[in-house]
Structures are given as structure tokens and as C-alpha cells.
Structure 1
């Protein structure tokens, strides 16, 4: 492997604290629309349901619109909260509209990106929706660290499809051998990158995973040495 010159990061759940920001967004829109559910109960049901629908979305089994609607519909059904289709549609739209207004990052994100920026070209590869991802980066004040942003909408496919990695490398004018992917999802980020020929680091803890993994972004510096 050549010396690493390009670092490709996932955004949600890797740099941008999706769960924290998502919870704040739901609290805001539920208050606005007088949705009377306990937030702790809602989040405990919603998060695994959301993960399930995102996996279906990654594999092109549902559309973006289906994902946005079904994850809320199923959560309300489990909670036995009566929400008609109009309310679910409005909440779905308001959630996307407001999500980027919250900007909690994982610990040490700004510090680590600041240290890496002089020595590496930094990039984002994300399956998140194009209309939201750039806003998230601007709101959390990390957009200036990155040379390129590749979304699944831009590439026309989603991680782990090799075509999104090919698109990102072409946009960054980078070679596989001088690139490294960092992300939280083993299937989409790590295995997807490796199958394409890019080395990858898992952001998270998984005892079944045999490769490099970090639980704090500051640990990335030890892997890059």
C-alpha cells in the first residue's frame, strides 16, 4: 500500500452525531405538531426500525419516499399512537427540513480534522440525502475541511455498491492504493470499500470484526502513522 494521501469519511454516525441530532429534531417537530408520545419510548422503538429501513434502502428494495414514511408509520403503530397519513407525511417532511439545524458532532471531530487537514486530502462519502448532507456539514462547521462530498444521489448508487467508491475517487482524483475509508457501518463502509480495493477503518466496536477499528476519532492518528 502506498502512503495514504486521501481520507474518505462517512458522515452520519461517524463525524455527525446522527442519533443525538435526530432526537433533537423529533423533539422540536413533535412539540410543534402536538404529537403526544414519550420521546424516550419513541426513540427506543424508532432507532432499530430506522436502521432496518436504511438497510432496505441501501439494497434498493425501497425508495427514499418509502423509507421516510414507513419508518415513522411503523414506529407509531408499535407505540399504538394514532397518526393518520397526512400527519406522518408532514412529520416526514419537517424532519428532513429541520434535521440539519442541529449540529452535534462526535467528540474530538473538529480537533482531529484540524490536525489531519494539513497532511491529507479529506472527503465525504455518504448514503444520506443530498439535500440534507451539505447543510449538516455547514451547520456543524466542518464543511471547510473537505475537498469533495459524494452522496448516493450524486453517484446514482449507495454504499456498499463499488460504483459509489469509483465515483468518489474520480471526483477526488485519488487512487485506491493511497486512500483510506473511515465509517461506522461494516457492510456499507468497511466491506464496501475493501471489496472495491480501498483499505478501511471501522468507527465503532465490534468483536466479530478483525480489522482496524477505533472508538474515538483521536485514535485514527495511531493507525495513520
Structure 2
């Protein structure tokens, strides 16, 4: 079946660029730099509070209930408020520093570079990401993978996030790609796989976490990016 594809739309965070690892590294650096051990029992205590509220805020952002600015303000302030330290200026300094450091991180998912080298010789590659404009391209340059892609398409471009159909239609339009010869590759079941299926695009589910209960059968499923070299 692989012969039919011409255009591959690939998610960035935790599909190619190791967001979870890079973010944790950056948070640990900032935690030490800002002396957050004054407020929290441990780094893990802080990070658990952050992650809990961060997930909720991204859901609210996806539904248009909070702005990008409010998302960023609240997720960095919440852990401090949770331990009785409502210091908005401290949270803002931490946040600004975090965003200046994280895009300089360069860890990639296993075999990402090797697979991109292989795919870029055969297909048009595009990034399709929910990330912010000011971060995503910087992250790709830091990791040395920006040159593999013909275009970077971001939810920031039109203010609509995956899995909404509008972002997929926009991606096809702005890259002049046809639905029938395009494929979405990503680690998020809801955003990448279900979102692509909703508009009739084939999908590859990069099942990093070993998810077993799948609501439907994706076009392809891999647990290692190297498997894409057998499929495509």
C-alpha cells in the first residue's frame, strides 16, 4: 500500500523531538536555578503538580476556553499557588527562562534521524504540530532536523489545534497535498490518529506507551520509528 503516499505529515513533540525528556531536563535546571526546593518536597512533587494542571489547561486551550498567554501564565503559577506561594513575578521569570532554554535542547526519539534520512529521499515531509511558532522551528534547528522538511505547519498558524478537521484541511491546502496520497504520523491517539481519520487521511500510530485498548484499528501502528522503513 505504501506506494500511494507522496506526502508525510509528521508530529514533532514526542514523535521526533523527545519533548518529555527535553522538558524534564529543562524543568530540573530551572528548579535548581530558582531554588524551588524552598517550596516543594522534591522536584517530583513540583513536576507532578505542574503536569496535572498543564494537561487540564491544554484541554481548555484546545476548546478555546483559555488563550495561549493564559495557558502559559497559569501552568507555571499553579504549582506555586498549590503550596501557598502565589508569586506571579517568580513564576513569570521561571517561565521566561524555561522557554528560552527548552528549544535549545536536542534529544530526539530513538532512530528519528536515521528514519528522516530514509523518508526524506522518498517523500515530501511536513511537520504538523500543535506547538507554538516561537519554539518549534528553534527546537528543530537545535536538533539538526529542520532541513528534512519542506514546510512546518502549526496550529498557531490558524488558531486551531489537532484533532480539529480545520488544521488538517489547512495543512493539505498550504502544502498543496492531496488527501488520498497523504499520511499522518504521530504519537497522540486523539490528536494525530483520530484527527487524521476524521478527515479521511491514513495514519501511523507511533505507540510509544504501549497502549492496548484502541477504539479502532489505525492504518498502521509502530512501536519504534525504524518500523516506518519497512512500511514506507
| TM norm structure 2 | 0.89
- The residue number in structure 2 matching 1:31 is 32
- The residue number in structure 2 matching 1:189 is 192
Q: Cα–Cα, structure 1 residues 144 and 215, in superposed 2: closer, same or farther, change >3 Å?
A: same
The one-character-per-residue Cα deviations of 1:180-221 (angstroms, maximum 9, x if unpaired) are: 001111211111111112111111232122323222111122
Higher mean C-alpha deviation, range 98-107 or range 21-30: 21-30
Cα distance in 1 for partners of 2:159, 2:85 equals 36
- The residue number in structure 2 matching 1:119 is 122
Q: Using the TM superposition, give the Cα deviation of residue 86 of structure 1 relative to its aligned residue in structure 2, in angstroms.
A: 0.9
Consecutive unaligned residues of structure 2, counting only runs of 5 or more, are none
Q: 2:162 aligns with which of 159, 164, 183?
A: 159
Q: Say yes or no: does 1:221 pair with 2:229.
A: yes
Cα distance in 1 for partners of 2:20, 2:192 equals 18
Aligned length: 223
The one-character-per-residue Cα deviations of 1:145-183 (angstroms, maximum 9, x if unpaired) are: 001101111123111121111121122211010010011
Q: Indicate conservation of the 8 Å contact 2:50/2:79, yes or no.
A: yes
Cα distance in 2 for partners of 1:12, 1:49 equals 19
- The residue number in structure 2 matching 1:69 is 73
Q: Using the TM superposition, give the Cα deviation of residue 66 of structure 1 relative to its aligned residue in structure 2, in angstroms.
A: 1.6
Q: Using the TM superposition, give the Cα deviation of residue 81 of structure 1 relative to its aligned residue in structure 2, in angstroms.
A: 5.9
Q: Say yes or no: does 1:53 pair with 2:57.
A: yes
Cα distance in 1 for partners of 2:71, 2:230 equals 38
| TM norm structure 1 | 0.92
Consecutive unaligned residues of structure 1, counting only runs of 5 or more, are none
Q: Secondary structure at the match of 1:157?
A: coil
Q: 1:200 aligns with which of 200, 203, 210?
A: 203
Cα distance in 2 for partners of 1:161, 1:150 equals 14
Q: Secondary structure at the match of 2:184?
A: strand
Q: 2:133 aligns with which of 126, 130, 133?
A: 130
Cα distance in 1 for partners of 2:84, 2:109 equals 32
- The residue number in structure 2 matching 1:10 is 11
Q: Cα–Cα, structure 1 residues 48 and 214, in superposed 2: closer, same or farther, change >3 Å?
A: farther
Q: Where in structure 1 do 4 or more consecutive aligned residues deviate above 3 Å? A: none
Cα distance in 2 for partners of 1:171, 1:132 equals 20
What do you get for the CA RMSD once the two structures are aligned? 1.8
